[in-house]
Every structure is written in C-alpha cells, then in structure tokens.
Structure 1
Amino acid sequence: MRWHRLLSVALGLGLAGCAGSGAGDGTRSASITAADAGVQEQAFGASGRRSVKALVYVLHRDRTGAQAEESDRFARELAQASPGARVIALTQSESIGDAESRGFTRERINRLADYIEARSKRYPGVPTVLVGDGGGAALAANLAGLRPKLVDGLVLAACPCMLPEWRKHMEKRMPRGTFKPAANSLDPLMTVGGVRSETKAALLVGANDPITPPKFSRGYAEALALRGIATDFRVLPGKGNDILTDPEVLSATTRMLAALQAPR
C-alpha cells in the first residue's frame, strides 16, 4: 500500500508541483489578523525588524489546555536557544467549528498561509520555518505543498502524514462514530509534490506512539526524499505521542535554523 501510494506521488510530482506553486493563493491582505486565520498567537524572542533573523511558527495539535501550554513552552525554549528567532505559537481558535478543526481543508490552509505571508512581509529575506505537532504537523506539511514560497523549513513531530491510512488506524482505536475528520481534508502525501526542492525537513516520531505510529511519518519522509529534499527522519526510542517538548525536537529545530541562517 505504501509503495503504491508513493509511486502515485512520484508520477504526479510535476502536476502537483505546478499546482502548489500558484493554486489556491486567493486574495491576500497585509492586514489579515490571527483571528482571520482562525488562530490565537503568542510570540517569543526577537521582535525588531533588524534583530529578527528567522521566523518560526509552532502549530499545535488543535487542542486546548495542556497541549497549548506545551506549544508555548516549546516556543519559549526555542526563542531562548536560537537568538534572533521570532517564534510564534499558534493555537486553534474556539470560533472554528469542530468539523474543520479536525480537518486539513484547502480553505483552512490558505487562510493560515495568508496570515503567515502577511507577517513575513514585515521581515523581508528572513527564512520561515513551520514546526507542527500532531494535526499541526499535517497542516504544516499541506501548507508547504500548497504555498511553497512561504516555507523554508519543516519540523514535523508525530505527523499523521498519510491521512487515509491514519484515518483507518484511528477508526479502529475509537468507538464507532466518534472519529469524524473533515471529508475534504487534503492528504500531505498527495500535496508533497508542491514542496520546494530547496526546503529543509525534519520528521520525528516516538517509537511507541500509539496515535501516529512511525509508518505515517516514514511514508512522508520517503516522498520528500523522492523530491530530492534534504530530510532528517528520526524515530525516538521509548517515546510515545507527546514529543513536542522532547529535547530532540528542539535540537532538530535549532540545527535547521542555524543552517538556514548560515552564509551562502
């Protein structure tokens, strides 16, 4: 199944790449707010135009409470570890309906992309990295495929990056009828053709993750490699699903930021 889907991806890379570079751009406004994008933001680190050397957006897994706190904690620690980085933790707004909050729809992705593009205009020439956790990782992967010019680096933790297979996995784990992801969600494995070849990527997943087992990250990592994209795929021994605040994820992100800011 995995290799059949990867072959389909490889055959469609040219078409997906063309679609990713321009399709779905829509109307963009420099005045778009976090509320317009359906998120709430918390910023850490550098803020002045001259002091900001990199932009990092941390997309959590669409939960509140402890998960949102983990996202803020990671963003704070990353800002401390990477001087010059402006790190923005994004949490899902309660105004977004349940159906869409569980999905990765084109509308939702473009709304978030418009927000990121508007913020990036404040810091021209500065690299942008997306760090995604769980559902936030799938959202980041799809955004990189649909709006590739906005993304220089991807760090994906515990990603459900093979959406149809992951849905089947979750349906087996949960009582019938309780798991209802949006039907029109985009599968990261099928938008991967739009990711720029220059993008840097890191995927990390716990070896004992029961929610998003390593196979769902491995398949996407292989698809990135087929595109010639530099990809660091790591399975963390003994770790489960909650790995955003694991030192390995912070280390992978700081290394990526250092590489993106290095003189060329």
Structure 2
Amino acid sequence: MKIRLLSGGVEVRGILLAAVVALGLSATTAAFACEGGSCVNGLAYEAFGPAPGTGSPLLAVFVHGDVSAGGPADYMYSYARQFAASRENVVAIALLRPGYYDRAGKRSDGSDNGRRDTFQSSSNRAVSGAIRELRRMYKARAVVALGHSGGAGTLGVIAGADPGLINGLVLASCPCDVPAWRASRGRGGGYASQSPVDYLSGIPRGTPIVAVTGSSDDNTHPELASNYVAKAQALGLNARLQLVGGGHGFSSGVGGAAVSALGGMAR
C-alpha cells in the first residue's frame, strides 16, 4: 500500500500498514475469545469428576478472586480437583471470570476491567449464565458454590439476583458491602461493583451460607463478613460466620476452611 502526502511533495510509503494494523487487532481479539469444549456462556472452565450425562451429580463451582497483581487466575483448579476426587458423584468446576485466563492459555470472553471493580452487573450476569448452563449440561441435582474475594462478591450477588440457582454458598474473604469495603481502603465512589448485602432478600430461606474470613485480613476486614452475616440472620437466612487465622489470600488459611465448609454442603 502506498500513502501519499501531497503537501510539499512529500511521499510516505507504508507497506500494508492498514492491513497489518487490522490483523493485529484481529489477533488480539482472538486471543481474548473463549474457544473449544471447556467454554460455557463465553467463560472458560476446568471440570473435574464425572462427565456430562453420568447420573445427577452435585455441581460444586469454584470462583477465583481479582488476582490484582496480574498473571493467571487458575489457583482454584487444584482445590476443585481435590474436591471432586474425594467425593462420589460430584463434579467440581473451576470457572474463570470475564477477561481472566489460566496458565495454559484458556481465556474467558469479556474484560477483567483492569482487575479493579470486577463484579459489576455484566460480569455477574456472565457468571450466572455460565452456572445455569453447567447445571443444565450436567443435569445437576443441586449447585453449591465457593467464591474468594471478588469471586465471593460475584456469587453473593448471584445467589440473591437469581434465586435458587445456587443451593449452598461459601463466601471467602468477601467484600460483601462494597461502599464499606472501599471506604475501609480509602477509596470513594465511582465504582460499578454490586454489593452482596443488597441481594440478601432474594436468597431463598434454607440456603446455607458460610462467610469465612481471616482474622488478620487487611483487605476485606472481618467486620464486612460479620455485618453481612448479621443482616442475613436478621432476615431469617441460614448464615454463619467463620473467622480463621490468616490474611486475605486463599492459601493463608481461609482456603482450607472454605473448602471444608463447602464439603459440609456437598450431600
């Protein structure tokens, strides 16, 4: 391709410049697409346990946090694998939220929003739709779900916004009240993430809810979980708080307690 600038008789040649730019944009878009068999409602996932069509299993869904430092968001894979391996007729799903990827290169559609303000309505709807499709695909008799940090924020909203989709809920290191959480971190308004505490009234009574938080968590302080549980109990919900040693990270002690709580719901 030849591009001519007529002013002053100057000519600039660009070899297929527009085509190269277009190809670059196309490649970037393709890299962010969820493709292949392990993709549902645009989100990538790893499944452990019986294949679809094998009985009516319990579906256990694991959803990661923001991973704000960058890199793959597949730390829930090992927990999901162990969970399925130690139980009969349980399918464990480690789901990647919009825009996130694993170290094998699988990536979910959508944006991770710079790994800030990540559980807004569009992201939450994508996760909700994925869980619904997985439930139908596996003909699951019930769904229990565990979310960590931003993943807990997502699942806490979904449990009330889509009543009955999730039959048991574990919220680890949960930013359950977004305005209070942001204020505790010195941040003001200008966010779109939804607060799980605003969706409590939609959660069916009898749904077990366990909020697990590290006693030394300096990100999602224990008060966020304790206030959430108090409001849930005031509504007659089956909610309890579990404080454990450790900080915000899933491997700090929160993870083991959260997985154990999920196991108590896997019946």
TM-score (norm 2): 0.73
Within the candidate set 193, 197, 212, 2:201 is matched to 193
Within the candidate set 22, 40, 44, 2:44 is matched to 40
Residue of structure 1 equivalent to 2:79: 74
Deviations 1:189-231 (Å, cap 9, x if unpaired)?
A: 1111111112111111000011111111111111221222222
SS at match of 2:243: strand
The root-mean-square deviation of aligned C-alpha atoms, in Å, is 2.5
- Separation in 1, partners of 2:198, 2:214: 24
SS at match of 2:118: coil
Moved more, 109-118 or 140-149: 109-118
Residue of structure 1 equivalent to 2:13: none
2:159 is equivalent to residue 144 of structure 1: yes
Deviations 1:121-164 (Å, cap 9, x if unpaired)?
A: 23446110111000000100000110012110101100000110
- Separation in 2, partners of 1:255, 1:98: 31
Residue of structure 2 equivalent to 1:58: 62
Within the candidate set 239, 254, 260, 2:263 is matched to 254
**Structure 2 runs not aligned, ≥5 long:** 1-37, 101-108
- Separation in 1, partners of 2:216, 2:139: 41
Structure of higher CA gyration radius: 2
Within the candidate set 151, 156, 170, 2:185 is matched to 170
Within the candidate set 229, 235, 243, 2:237 is matched to 229
Q: Could you tell me whether the CA contact under 8 Å between 1:148 and 1:196 is conserved in 2?
A: yes
Q: Could you tell me whether the CA contact under 8 Å between 1:103 and 1:181 is conserved in 2?
A: no
Within the candidate set 127, 147, 150, 1:135 is matched to 150
After superposition, the Cα gap between the structure-2 partners of 1:100 and 1:51, relative to the gap in structure 1 and judged at 3 Å, is farther
- Separation in 1, partners of 2:74, 2:179: 29
Residue of structure 2 equivalent to 1:154: 169
Paired positions, count: 217
| Percent identical residues | 24
Name which structure has the greater RCO, CA cutoff 8 Å, separation 6+.
Answer: 1
- Separation in 2, partners of 1:34, 1:227: 37
TM-score (norm 1): 0.74
- Separation in 2, partners of 1:249, 1:149: 21
Within the candidate set 101, 113, 124, 1:99 is matched to 113
After superposition, the Cα gap between the structure-2 partners of 1:88 and 1:200, relative to the gap in structure 1 and judged at 3 Å, is same
SS at match of 2:45: strand
The structure where helix makes up a greater share of residues is 1
- Separation in 1, partners of 2:262, 2:113: 31
Deviation at 1:243, TM superposition (A): 2.9
- Separation in 2, partners of 1:253, 1:73: 15
**Structure 1 runs not aligned, ≥5 long:** 1-32, 173-179, 259-264
Q: Could you tell me whether the CA contact under 8 Å between 2:61 and 2:93 is conserved in 1?
A: yes
Within the candidate set 245, 250, 253, 1:243 is matched to 250
Residue of structure 2 equivalent to 1:11: none
Deviation at 1:100, TM superposition (A): 7.6
2:102 is equivalent to residue 88 of structure 1: no
Deviations 1:28-51 (Å, cap 9, x if unpaired)?
A: xxxxx84644x3211112224334
